[in-house]
């Protein structure tokens, strides 16, 4: 059955890393045409000989296992169900190949081009056994939605959540939809600007764009949501989920070494601050403060910026980084609207969006992969300015930040901000490679599945893609070492 609306909003945080395993299958595979996914040749159906023109445009892949799950080959479908799955997969593939800037990273990380991965999945669907069962269009749609959602979840698992690529879970979807509609409901549109309680939130077209996607009829159907059931008067200042035990604190050595960990940045920061802020006050005079983000897979970037950094600094800090994008329509629109949406907390240090190739040539990044310039068209040099909060509790001692291979998304951003601003010394191993970039969502036309696509490509100061290398700590520890033990040893050596 398709996704059902939950009775409450709750959070699933994926804490395990997925290992890419290609499933074996002896079937011949088809690849994309020279000009992209639209020219993908149809594979022979159920072993029948292909027409000559298809054979001429089809290349058999013999040097790798096809990118399809085993269970797909034993799925029985109706012709109508199969056609809906194919149409939606084609729609998603075209969108991603046009707008995802990490196609090169994808191929280097997983050993297969993204277009080939979609071609393999399309081949698998096209060659499913077709039942002669008579079904209604609604039954076909229900079955297509269930099977395609399962396939896209499998895809997400194989690519280890690279770039946040994946179908949106029901609870997250409802939160996105409800928040967007509540923002619209509680705002005034003045000269095409969104204004809430006198605060300007930017161009109204961005908010409307979100609503158009989230509230698409097919997507409301898939997630089984009735608009009348949504809370359009929610407190928009409360962001996140209530996660019990998200913050832990410890005094390791009285008057000298303090420690706290944050399990997820998807938690409601205002609730966690009831633990954090008194702790900051208690340890304000200590020599060392250790922040543990190991295992923190991310959430809202504003959490670390406003409830940790802004609380502990006594003067403004700046973080500069560069984010690339393709020339795809959705990617370009997202970049342009991001420049005018202050809720992101970013401003640009350039007068306009710059051309990627010119920018890279001018900057001379030593490790930038120039092959990616075949995909990347534009770049925005971002500037994040963090001001001390009015209620801040400045920490004058040394701050350490612990990360590991599971520290992802907003946690990686926290590590990057700490390194580039000098806020903390980051210790651990390179992070998870899922950075908090500009993102968009696509609603599939038949099934209504909402799929998240990141449209940004952030590099470090050496030019390396964070989606490929993660954030490299200031101090990289040896495999098997414990980052906390390493920091405590470093403190003792001082």
Of residues 254 and 206, more confidence is placed in 254
Residue 30 has pLDDT above 50, yes or no: no
Angle of helix 137-158 versus helix 114-126 axis, rounded to 10 = 140
The per-residue pLDDT for 453 is 95
- Residue 211 has phi, psi (to 5 degrees) of -65, -40
Name 81's Cβ contacts closer than 8 Å, sequence gap at least 6: 135, 140, 141, 143, 144, 147
What pLDDT is stored for residue 456 in this prediction? 94
Reported as a single tens digit per residue, the pLDDT across 359-402 is 999 998 999 999 999 999 999 999 989 999 999 999 999 999 99
The per-residue pLDDT for 55 is: 32
Q: At what angle do helices 204-214 and 170-185 cross, to 10 degrees?
A: 140
Query: In this predicted structure, what is the pLDDT of residue 3?
Result: 56
For residue 380, give the H/E element and its range: strand 378-386
Is the pLDDT higher at 350 or at 454? 454
Can you say how many angstroms the Cα of residue 390 is from the centroid of all Cα atoms in its chain? Answer: 31
Strand extents, DSSP E, 95-165: 129-130
User: What length is written for the chain?
Assistant: 494
CA distance 404 to 338: 30
Domain boundary assignment for the chain: 37-163, 247-438+455-493
pLDDT tens-digit map of 78-107: 999 999 999 999 999 999 999 999 999 999
| The pLDDT of residue 436 | 82
Binning pLDDT at 50, 70 and 90, where does residue 52 land? very low
pLDDT at 54 over 50: no
Q: Which of 55-59, 165-169, 238-242 has the lowest mean pLDDT?
A: 55-59
Residue predicted with more confidence, 38 or 10: 38
How confident is the model at residue 344, as a pLDDT? 62
Domain 247-438+455-493 carries which CATH code?
A: 3.90.226.10
DSSP letter assigned to residue 159? T
Give the position of tokens 């706290």.
260
Which of 10-14, 93-97, 117-121 bottoms out in mean pLDDT, i.e. has the lowest?
Answer: 10-14
What's residue 255's pLDDT? Answer: 96
For the ranges 165-179, 199-213, 353-367, which has the lowest average pLDDT?
Answer: 199-213
475: tokens are 């101090």
Share of the chain above pLDDT 70, in %: 86
d(CA 401, CA 484): 9
Mean pLDDT across 445-466: 96
- The residue written with tokens 């709750």 in the block is 10
pLDDT band of residue 63 (cuts 50, 70, 90) is low
- The pLDDT assigned to 2 comes to 60
User: Which pTM was predicted?
Assistant: 0.84
The CA distances from residue 19 to 2, 154, 155, 157, 159, in Å, are: 27, 11, 12, 8, 8
- CA atoms of 269 and 264, how far apart (whole Å): 10
Residue whose pair of structure tokens reads 């001390």 in the numeric block: 388
Give the dihedral sign, CA 22/28/34/39.
Answer: negative
Beta pairing, strands 317-325 & 378-386: antiparallel
50-60: average pLDDT: 33
Average pLDDT (398-422) is 96
Per-residue pLDDT, 341: 64
Cβ pair 72, 125 in contact under 8 A: yes
Mean pLDDT of the region 40-51? 33
pLDDT above 90 (res 406): yes
Distance, CA of 32 to CA of 313 (rounded, Å)? 52
Q: Where are the beta strands (DSSP E) in 90-192?
A: 129-130, 166-167, 188-190
Give the strand pairing for 257-262 and 247-253.
antiparallel
Nearest to 325 by CA among 345, 305, 339: 339
Q: Indicate if the pLDDT at residue 25 is higher than 50.
A: no
Across 207-224, average pLDDT: 95
Angle in degrees, 0-180, between the axes of helices 329-338 and 79-99, rounded to the nearest 10: 50
Token pair for residue 401? 């930040």
Residue 205 CB contacts under 8 Å (≥ 6 apart), including other chains: 192, 337
Q: What is the mean pLDDT of residues 176-180?
A: 93
- pLDDT of the residue at 161: 74
Q: Which of 58-62, 336-340, 450-454 has the highest mean pLDDT?
A: 450-454
Query: Which residues, 6+ apart, have CB-to-CB distance to 38 below 8 Å?
Result: 94
Q: How confident is the model at residue 318 (pLDDT cuts 50, 70, 90)?
A: very high
**More confidently predicted of 247 and 55:** 247
* Rounded CA separation 121/155 (Å): 9
Mean pLDDT of the chain: 86
Closest C-alpha to 75, from 151, 135, 20: 151
User: Is residue 244 pLDDT above 60, yes or no?
Assistant: yes
């Amino acid at each position: 059955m398709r996704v059902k609306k939950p009775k409450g909003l709750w959070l699933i945080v994926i804490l395990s890393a997925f290992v890419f395993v290609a499933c074996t299958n002896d079937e011949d595979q088809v690849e994309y045409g020279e000009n992209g996914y639209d020219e993908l040749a149809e594979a022979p159906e159920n072993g029948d000989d292909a027409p000559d023109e298809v054979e001429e445009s089809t290349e058999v892949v013999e040097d790798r296992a096809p990118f399809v799950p085993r269970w797909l080959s034993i799925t029985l479908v109706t012709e109508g169900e199969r056609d809906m799955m194919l149409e939606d997969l084609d729609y998603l593939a075209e969108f991603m190949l046009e707008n995802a800037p990490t196609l090169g990273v994808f191929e280097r990380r997983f050993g297969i081009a993204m277009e080939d991965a979609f071609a393999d999945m399309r081949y698998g669907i096209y060659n499913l056994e077709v039942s002669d069962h008579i079904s209604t269009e609604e039954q076909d749609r229900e079955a297509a939605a269930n099977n395609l959602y399962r396939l896209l979840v499998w895809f997400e698992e194989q690519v280890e959540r690279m770039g946040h690529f994946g179908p949106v879970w029901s609870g997250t979807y409802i939160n996105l939809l409800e928040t967007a509609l509540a923002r619209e409901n509680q705002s005034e549109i003045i000269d095409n600007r969104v204004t809430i309680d006198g605060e300007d939130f930017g161009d109204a077209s961005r908010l409307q764009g979100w609503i158009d996607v989230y509230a698409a009829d097919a997507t409301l159907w898939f997630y089984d949501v009735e608009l009348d059931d949504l809370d359009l008067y929610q407190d928009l200042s409360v962001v996140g989920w209530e996660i019990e035990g998200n913050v832990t604190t410890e005094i390791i050595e009285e008057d000298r070494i303090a420690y706290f960990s944050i399990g997820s940045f998807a938690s409601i920061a205002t609730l966690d601050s009831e633990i954090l802020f008194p702790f900051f006050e208690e340890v304000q005079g200590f020599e060392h403060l250790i922040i543990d983000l190991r295992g923190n897979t991310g959430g809202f970037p504003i959490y670390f910026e406003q409830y940790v950094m802004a609380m502990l600094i006594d003067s403004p800090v700046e973080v500069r980084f560069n984010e690339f994008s393709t020339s795809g329509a959705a990617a370009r629109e997202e970049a342009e609207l991001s420049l005018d949406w202050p809720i992101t907390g970013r401003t640009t240090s350039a007068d306009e969006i710059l051309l990627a190739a010119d920018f890279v040539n001018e900057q001379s990044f030593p490790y930038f992969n120039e092959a990616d310039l075949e995909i990347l068209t534009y770049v925005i040099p971002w500037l994040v300015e963090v001001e001390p909060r009015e209620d801040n509790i400045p920490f004058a001692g040394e701050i350490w930040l612990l990360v590991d291979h599971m520290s992802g998304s907003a946690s990686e951003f926290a590590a990057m901000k700490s390194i580039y601003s000098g806020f903390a010394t980051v210790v651990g191993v390179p992070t998870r490679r899922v950075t908090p970039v500009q993102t968009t969502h696509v609603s599939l036309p038949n099934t209504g599945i909402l799929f998240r696509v990141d449209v940004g490509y952030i590099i470090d100061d050496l030019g390396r893609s964070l989606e490929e290398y993660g954030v490299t700590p200031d101090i990289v520890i040896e495999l098997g070492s414990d980052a906390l033990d390493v920091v405590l040893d470093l403190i003792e050596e001082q």
